[in-house]
Amino acid sequence: MYLSKLFIPLLKENPSEAKIKSHQLMLRAGMIKQSSTGIYSWLPLGFKIMKKIEQIVREEQNKIGAQELLMPTIQSAKIWRESGRYDDYGEEMLRIKDRQGKEMLYGPTNEELITEIFRSSIKSYKSLPQLLYHIQWKFRDELRPRFGVMRCKEFFMKDAYSFDLNDEEAKKSYNKMFFAYLNTFKKLGLTAIPMEADTGPIGGDLSHEFIILAETGESKIYSDKRILQIDINNHTDTEDSIKKLREKYDTYYAVTDEKYKNEEFEKKVNKENQLVTKGIEVGHIFYFGDKYSKPLKCAVDLNDGKKVYVKMGSYGIGVSRLVGAIIEAKYNNNIMRWPDSVAPFDVVIIPSLQKNDRSNYLKAEKIYNTLVKNKIDVLFDDTEEHLSAKFKKFDLIGIPFQIILGSKSTDDKFEFKEINGKTESKSMEEIKNILLNKRNLN
Ligand code: 5CA
């Protein structure tokens, strides 16, 4: 991609409405634009990063056997009346009438709709277990939307739903998802701590929030800091290994403030291991048994002719929130630092360009074509801005590698720099190999 063609409306100043770093940087880098309170358009750079995050979330869901489908954003009020949540959800739910006066709503979550889909198609215990998910926009008319994409009204969420025959099987699905979540956040370069949490309007009595540590987070957390040392790489996706991993996490105290009890914390965690800080909730998983299947009459036939309500759980990841959360967890001064897995481009070529001298442009173009041929996602800054202005811009956007064609580059050696790292002189071949190796590691 040539920078001159990229739609990227950069801002020079910090917008006054943005209180936290991720919000400021996302606006400055032209990633999002507010269209009304708590509702954003995703501009090409922000959208590209969000799509990469979405893809990692999807791959990890598929790995544990979850199947993707797509439910609509607009739902009928009827099924929400069946579950009893139409009234309970209160003002957070955006209610709409269609031209026939039928009551509809913009889905804040999908427990009812997926249960309705399931009950109309699955009749026998033989079809269980099932894990279904979709990645779709949600709407919650939040009382205080704030911090940009962190707490907004319209947001992009991956929500999965498990269907099992009994509690024991359902807990296996829960643990599978627990495992997939740890892997997902790791792939995104984040350390997420699963914390026992309140279940709120979703319900049930077993729930974990996945929290990444960040001072600007909205969740207060109390934990044994040794939980951060658990290495998920020592675990495979077998049932037994996943169970052991879950047990490891359960041995350490880790709760959000709704579950916090001072005496318990003091008793269970030595002073030197106590971690009291703030974090961002990037995922939340719930087990609620037959809370929805019972009122919605979602039952399957058993072997002996009896019927049983399916046992369900639901599992959310805030895909759009993750864009902001990654920035919060990783930024350095005013530089966004993307893990390679979600960086908007693999590398940027930054030549010093003058009107009356085409030599750097031609060199840069040659490098660009070689990298593109090797399927490296490269941005070419073909503008005539001064080098120092270009550096500022790319520091802000946070592309992991830079190839600089300035006074120090020769015909076959160029300045190559990892963001925040040292500049080294490298040949085209060396640069290509470094970038290809990086990609293979991801
Ligand atoms: N049905 C369940 C799980 S599928 C559910 O809705 N859970 S949730 O309410 O906890 O939301 C799941 C995730 O969506 C949260 O962990 C958070 O990362 C994200 N999220 C929730 N509300 C917002 C919001 N207002 N803005 C941005 N992201 C949000």
- Per-residue pLDDT tens digits for 52-69: 999 999 999 999 999 999
pLDDT of residue 128: 96
Per residue in 6-26, pLDDT tens? 999 999 888 998 999 999 999
Per residue in 152-176, pLDDT tens? 999 999 999 999 999 999 999 999 9
Q: Which helix (H) or strand (E) holds 75?
A: strand 74-76
In this prediction the pTM is: 0.96
Q: Which atom of ligand 1 has the smallest separation from the CA of 157? A: 14
Question: Exposed, middle or buried: residue 97 (CB in 10 Å: 0-12, 13-18, 19+)?
Answer: exposed
Task: Determine which residue's CA is closest to atom 17 belonging to ligand 1.
Answer: 318
**Alpha-carbon distance 400 to 348, whole Å?**
8
> Which residues are CB-contacts of 54 (< 8 A; sequence separation ≥ 6)?
135, 156, 158, 319
> Which residues are CB-contacts of 131 (< 8 A; sequence separation ≥ 6)?
64, 65, 66, 67, 160, 161, 162, 163, 173, 176, 177
Cis peptide before 129 (omega within 30 of 0): yes
| Lookup result for tokens 């979540």 | 181
Q: Which atom of ligand 1 has the smallest separation from the CA of 158? A: 4
CA of 239 to the centre of ligand 1 (A): 27
In order of 2, 27, 390, 403, the CA distances from 381 in angstroms are 6, 20, 8, 10
Let me know: does 361 contact 402? Beta carbons within 8 Å.
no
Tell me the longest C-alpha to C-alpha distance in the chain: 86
CA of 282 to the centre of ligand 1 (A): 8
CA of 176 to the centre of ligand 1 (A): 19
**Alpha-carbon distance 227 to 198, whole Å?**
20
Sequential DSSP letters for 274-296: EEEEEEEEEEEEEEEETTTTTTT
Q: Which atom of ligand 1 has the smallest separation from the CA of 283? A: 16
User: CB under 6 Å to ligand 1: residues?
Assistant: 109, 111, 140, 142, 151-152, 155, 157, 159, 202, 281-284, 286, 314-316, 318, 321
442 residues of the chain, pLDDT tens digit each: 999 999 999 998 889 989 999 999 999 999 999 999 999 999 999 999 999 999 999 999 999 999 999 999 999 999 999 999 999 999 999 999 999 999 999 999 999 999 999 999 999 999 999 999 999 999 999 999 999 999 999 999 999 999 999 999 999 999 999 999 999 999 999 999 999 988 888 888 899 999 999 888 888 999 999 999 999 999 999 999 999 999 999 999 999 998 999 999 999 999 999 999 999 999 999 999 999 999 999 999 999 999 999 999 999 999 999 999 999 999 988 889 999 999 999 999 999 998 888 889 999 999 999 999 999 999 999 999 999 999 999 989 999 999 999 877 787 899 999 988 899 999 999 999 999 998 777 6
Q: Which atom of ligand 1 has the smallest separation from the CA of 286? A: 3
Task: Determine which residue's CA is closest to atom 3 belonging to ligand 1.
Answer: 316
Per residue in 313-345, pLDDT tens? 999 999 999 999 999 999 988 889 999 999 999
Q: What is the chain's mean pLDDT, rounded?
A: 95
Q: Which of 155, 190, 206, 211 to mutate to test the pocket of ligand 1 (most atoms within 8 A of CB)?
A: 155
Task: Determine which residue's CA is closest to atom 16 belonging to ligand 1.
Answer: 283
Q: Which atom of ligand 1 has the smallest separation from the CA of 210? A: 16
The residue among 50, 61, 60 whose CA lies nearest residue 343 is 50
Q: Which atom of ligand 1 has the smallest separation from the CA of 140? A: 25
**Alpha-carbon distance 387 to 14, whole Å?**
22
CA of 186 to the centre of ligand 1 (A): 19
CA of 399 to the centre of ligand 1 (A): 28
43 three-class SS: coil
Let me know: does 149 contact 216? Beta carbons within 8 Å.
no
